[in-house]
Structure 1
Amino acid sequence: MSVRELWIAGYRSVRELRFPLAPVTVVEGPNGSGKTNVYRALQLLLSAAEGSLSRTLAEEGGMPSVLWAGTRQKNAPARLTVGVRLDDLAYELSCGLVPPPQGPFMLDPDVKEETVWIHEGKRRHVVAERRAASVFARDAEGHRTTFAAELWGGESVLAQISEPHRFPMLSALRAELLRWRFYHHFRTDPLSPLRQTQVGVRTPALAHDGRDLAAALLTIQEIGDPRALHAGVENAFPGSSLELDSEAGRFSFRMRMPGLLRPLEAAELSDGTLRYLCLLAALLSPRPPPFIALNEPETSLHPSLLPALGRLIAAAGRRGQVFVTTHAHELARALEEHAGATRLPLGKDAGATVLVE
C-alpha cells in the first residue's frame, strides 16, 4: 500500500500540517524548522503498531514534552494527533495527558481517540473506532464487535487487538506499518559496533542504528545486488573498493583506497564514510520495505557525496516509497533531478512549523 497523505497536529512545533506523499518526498528546511518533528510523527505510527508508543514518547521526555507548546483555542484539550492514508485505508491516532489522579505514570500517553476507515469513492466506512475506553471493530463479516475488556490507554488498538482472521483490516494495517523502516542516527564513535568484527547472521534489513552493518553488506553481496553495492562505493569514492570478509561466521569489512598500500579496517574509516556505508546498506536491502524514512541523511557527509547518495535514494524510490528530510539543497535538487521527488519546504510562523509556498 502506498502512503498517500500524512497529517499531524499538536506535536512539538507542529500545530497543524497536512500534505500528500509521492514515491519520493523530500521535506526541506533550515535547522529548527521542524523537519525532525515531522519524521518523528511518522515514526509514532510504527510505534503504535509495535506496541511501543509509551516507550517512544518516554524517550522524548514523556507526553507533556511532546505536545504543542504554543497558544491553542480556549478550553481546547491538549492533543497530539497523527494520521495517514494508505491507498484506500486510513488511520488516525490522538493522544493526550493521563487524566487525574495521574499517579506515578503521569508522563504516559493516554489514547483518547483512534479510528481506522476505508475510502470507497466519497464514502467512508469505519473499520474500528476508539473513544476513550469505548472501542469497537468490524470483523471479517462486517459485524460490529464491542470490546468488553478495557484496553490499556497507553497503547493503540493496533497493538492490542491481534486476531488476523477475525479482524483482517486491522491486521493488514498493522502488518503494513510494521514493514516501515526509519534511519536517523548511526553510531560511529570508536567503540561503535559498526567498527567491530561481528558474529553475523543473514541480515536483509539493516538495523535502525546500523549496528549489524557488516552482516547487512555481506547479505547484499550474497543474495542482493552486489553490482549496485560496489557501484555505490565507486560512485561515492572514485577508485575505492569495498572488501567483505567472513571467517568462521565472523563478519568484517574494509575499504581499499587509491594511493594506500593496504585497505583500511572499519575501525580506521571516517564517521562520514561509515555513515555512507550504512545508508548504502539500508537503501540496497534485498528485502526492500514499502516505505523508508531517512532523517537528514547528509549528516557527516561531504557535499561531494550527495550526488551519489541522491542516485541511491532515487533507485530505492523505484522499489518502494522514500521519505527524506534534509537541509541540504544539493541533495534535494539531486532527488528532484534523478527521482522526480516532491519537495516540501518548511519554515516557521509564530513558532509553528508550516509549509512554505
Structure 2
Amino acid sequence: MRLRSMFAKNYRSLRSIRMDLADTTLFLGENGAGKSNLYRALQLVQAAVRGRLGYELAAEGGMLSALWSGSRRTSDGPARIRLEVEIVDEERAVTFRYHVEAGLRPPAAAGFALEPQIKAEELSVETGRRAVTMMRRAGPGISVRDVAGRMQDYPDEALTSETAIALLGDAGHFPEVAAFRRIVNNWRFFHGFRTDRASPLRHPCLPVTGPMLDEDGSNLAAVFATLAHIRQDTVELDRILASALGGARLVVSEPGETAEFGLMLPDFPHRVFHPRELSDGQIRFLGLAAALLSYRLPALIALNEPEASLHPDMLVPLADMIAEASKSTQVWIVTHSVQLAEAVRERCGVRPRKVIRENGATWIEGMRLTGAIAGDDDDDE
C-alpha cells in the first residue's frame, strides 16, 4: 500500500500544493518554510479517518488559525481547507482516492462559531477501468454505494464535526471504506519524543507484544523485548546502536510483570544503565530505533525533524536506520539538517525536496503544478 500523491489547499502556509511521493520522500528546508505544515496536513488525513479532524483543527486554534491567511480572490470560492490523498495497492491494482473539506459555520447555522465543520468528502476506488465513487458527503447528507452498485442515501446524517469516512467505517457494512481506513489508520507519525523524567520512554511498560512503536513511545521496552525474545534477531539493531552510542549494547531482559531494557556502556562493562539515567539524545535515538526497526513496520512512517537533540555523530546511523526501514515501508522525512539529508540521499538514492516560501506560500523548489519534481526520474534510475 503506497501513498502515491497528496494535495493540500488553504491549510496554514499551504496555499495550494500537490505532489507525487516516492517510497522515501525527504523534505529539507529552513525554519519557517512550512515543512511541518506538509507533515501536519498528512496527519490530518489520518485524523479524518479516525473521526477527529474537527477536534484536531480546533486544538490548533480553530479554523481562523488553521486557514490560509494570505490574499484570496473572489473566484476562489468559500474559505475551506481541502486535503486529498491517493493510495495504491500495487498487488491488487486498486487505487483509493479520498478528499475532505472543512470550513467555518455559515451565519445562523447550528454549531459553535469557530468550530471546524466538515463540508464535503468523497472516497473513490479505481480497479483499472475508471474510478467509482463509493461514498460522497455534502453537508450533513451522505450517499454510499450499496452491494448492488447503486448510490443510496445513508439513513443517518453526519454532525458538522463528524467525518463520513469514520461514521461509515464504524457501521461495518462498507468494505471499501473499511479497507481505506485500515490503510491510513496504520500510518505512524513521530514528531520527536518526550525526554523529561516522566517520559514514557524512560519507564517500564506492560509486557504485551509490541510489533510496532506507539507514537508516544510508551511501549518502547515491549518493542525491544519483541525483537529480542520473539524474533530473536537484534543484529541490525545492535550494530546501529553501537555505531550511534559509542559502542553501547542494548540489554533486554525476559519480560515479567513489566518489560524493561537498559544500556551497557563500554566504559562501565559491569553495569546496566536504566533509561532514567540516559541522556536526552540517547533516549531519543532509542525511540527512533524502535520506530524504524520494529518487528512489523506500518505502511508509512513520517518523521518530523528527527535530528532534534541528537549529536551530529548520530545522524549517519539514523540515516542507516531510515534506509533499512525503506526496504519494506514508505518513509517521509522532514528535516532542516543538511547533514542528515545528505546521508539519506547517499543511502536511499533520493534527492532532497527543498521546501521554500514563495509569495508567502509553502512550495517545493523545482516542482511543477502537476506535483512532479524535475529530476526525480533520474534519481530513481
TM-score by shorter chain over 0.5: yes
Deviation at 1:163, TM superposition (A): 6.6
CA–CA separation in structure 2 for the residues paired with 1:244 and 1:167: 43
Structure 2 CA distance for partners of 1:248 and 1:223, relative to 1, 3 Å:
closer
Question: Are 1:340 and 2:349 matched, yes or no?
Answer: yes
Cα displacement string for residues 192-248 of structure 1 (whole angstroms, at most 9, x for unaligned residues): 222223333222121111122112211221234422221221121242111123463
Is 1:264 aligned with 2:277? Answer: no
For the residue of structure 1 that corresponds to 2:260, the secondary structure is strand
What TM-score does the superposition give when structure 1 sets the normalisation length?
A: 0.94
Report the AA paired with residue 253 of structure 1. F
SS at structure 2 position matched to 1:176? helix
Q: What SS is found at the alignment partner of 2:169?
A: coil
SS at match of 2:354: strand
The amino acid of 1:5's aligned partner reads S
Residue 186 of structure 1, aligned match among 168, 189, 193: 193
Q: 2:25 aligned with 1:25, yes or no?
A: yes
Q: How large is the Cα RMSD of the aligned pairs?
A: 1.9
SS state at 1:199 partner: coil
1:103–1:271 CA distance, 2 compared to 1 (3 A): farther
Q: Distance in 1 between matches of 2:230 and 2:255?
A: 18
TM-score (norm 2): 0.88
Q: How many residue pairs end up in the alignment?
A: 357
Indicate conservation of the 8 Å contact 1:284/1:316, yes or no: yes
| Alignment partner of 1:144 is 2:145 | no
Give the C-alpha shift of residue 70 in structure 1: 0.8
Q: Does 2:59 align with 1:48? A: no
Structure 1: give runs of 5+ residues left out of the alignment: none
Check if 1:61 corresponds to 2:61: yes
276-285 vs 101-110, greater mean Cα deviation: 101-110
Alignment of 1:14-163 (within 5 A): 14-74=14-74, 76-87=77-88, 88-101=95-108, 105-119=112-126, 123-162=130-169
Once the two structures are overlaid, the 10-residue window that deviates more, 71-80 or 96-105, is: 96-105
Q: Distance in 1 between matches of 2:154 and 2:314?
A: 53
Q: 1:325 to 1:56 in 2, by over 3 A?
A: same
Deviation at 1:130, TM superposition (A): 1.4
For 1:350 and 1:311, the matched residues in 2 are separated by: 36
**Paired residues of 1:62 and 1:109 also in contact (CA < 8 A):** yes
Alpha carbons 2:111, 2:160 under 8 Å: kept = no
Name the CA distance, whole Å, in 2 between partners of 1:147 and 1:193: 42
Q: How far did residue 126 of structure 1 move?
A: 1.9
For residues 82 and 25 of structure 1, the distance between their equivalents in structure 2, rounded to whole angstroms, comes to: 19
- The aligned runs of 1:206-245 (5 Å cut-off) are 206-224=213-231, 225-245=233-253
Identical columns (%): 38
Q: CA deviation at 1:342?
A: 4.5
Deviation at 1:191, TM superposition (A): 2.1
- How far apart in 2 are the matches of 1:246 and 1:65? 48
Consecutive unaligned residues in structure 2, runs of 5 or more: 89-94, 367-381
Deviations 1:83-140 (CA, angstroms, capped at 9, x unpaired): 0111221111111012233677333221111111234568433222112123212123
Whole-Å separation in 1 of the counterparts to 2:80 and 2:32: 22
Q: Does the 8 A contact of 1:140 with 1:168 survive in 2?
A: no
